[in-house]
Amino acid sequence: MIDAIDRSILRYFKSDGRMTATALAAKVGLTVAPCHRRLRDLEAAGIIRGYRADIDPAAVGLGFEAIVFVTLRQVDRSTMEIFESRVAGNPNIVEAQRLFGSPDYLLKVIAEDLPSYQRFYDSELTSLPGVERLTSTLVMKNLKANAGPPV
């Protein structure tokens, strides 16, 4: 279980993951050593899953986004494992969720533009194992992304 101080650490770190332990300690009202220990404990418990840069896809030439709903022909263990492995290994699929009900999966795909998305759709998405139906919805505007859980 995490307490109010841990939640405060998570709130500050969520907004600025590069904050030093000294600055974080000052914000949450701890000295550096206990703050650093709490950070290590949150990491060891898997509450803090890692650190990464939040890169703007459009700034690196990948400004086109599509949400793809996937329905599988059959939902057996082997098909799902192969499908999920291929999805996880594809760098243009930046988010993927398995859903209850229909459709079976939701994928977020990034590409340079519509023609490159079409090529990706034709060569990659249609070749995923067990796919019965793909339905694409194009993203007009991102209002909120990578917000993380409320802490």
Residue 60: the pLDDT is 95
Residue 53: the pLDDT is 86
Per-residue pLDDT, averaged over 12-18, amounts to: 90
Which range of 5-9, 53-57, 143-147 scores highest in mean pLDDT? It is: 5-9
Q: Is the confidence at residue 121, as pLDDT, over 90?
A: yes
CA proximity to 135, closest of 121, 149, 151: 121
Per-residue pLDDT, averaged over 83-97, amounts to: 97
| pTM higher than the cut 0.85 | no
| β-pair type (93-98, 105-111) | antiparallel
- The span from the CA of 13 to the CA of 143, in Å, is 22
What is the share, in percent, of the chain residues with pLDDT greater than 70?
Answer: 100
Q: Is the confidence at residue 146, as pLDDT, over 90?
A: no
pLDDT in tens, 25-49: 999 999 999 999 999 999 999 999 9
